[in-house]
Chains A and B, each alone.
Chain A
């Protein structure tokens, strides 16, 4: 995979509508410049381990993904010293307790339930973008 410029946000999301809504919300807040979208867990892992040394500032990870699901992706990221410090935010429809617990056990940095209401959803995406891209100070990789 060719990487032309550094990626700020890696969005791992298989639902094209959710992708579009997320991008729309990010664009509205001028946060869409360096974003990469992948559609499943395999693509996500390929991208992450293919861009070592130039990792995204935050990964927005859905739980339910084709091929390799979100928790497995999370586990791979957090168990590898090279990727462990990349912030991962679960952005998912599930507010099942076990998903929350399992995500934190695996070392997720944040867990956000996508609201049905687009207003709330857009606000959540805005805050995530602002926080991780502007406020957060990650270690130099």
Chain B
């Protein structure tokens, strides 16, 4: 939905679909050709500003262009806002996984029995306070048990560019530590 931030007098939904077709899809194809296995679409606009009912259909069209015959996992990540009001619609989008900012979103709002993967934004990219790997494991276990997504990805809630590099590195290390622990639990 970066079409919303563009300077344009044109119809933004037409622009969104055109961006998907002419810019994002070629870029994604190039990334997949280079070996990318997961394409992570970041969409702060939807989380922060929201979306009107009539915009879901063109968003679905745009994502359909990106997802069609794609030989990689396509995730659509909503952040800088509460995803709870949008969960039902998000789960209908033609993508493989939905990303959610769990600093802003109640885990209970995610529902249960997802037909998609969940990119769980569990690391706060706007705070310098380091998360505890044990807490992250607890959250991951809870999500696996209750939401039951097709796949579970552990992630930051937003990009980490708002943090000093040293802090971001420590957070990523803790995220990795938690992910390893969760994998061990699953493999037992």
| A interacts with B | no
Q: Which residues of B contact A (CB under 8 A)?
A: none
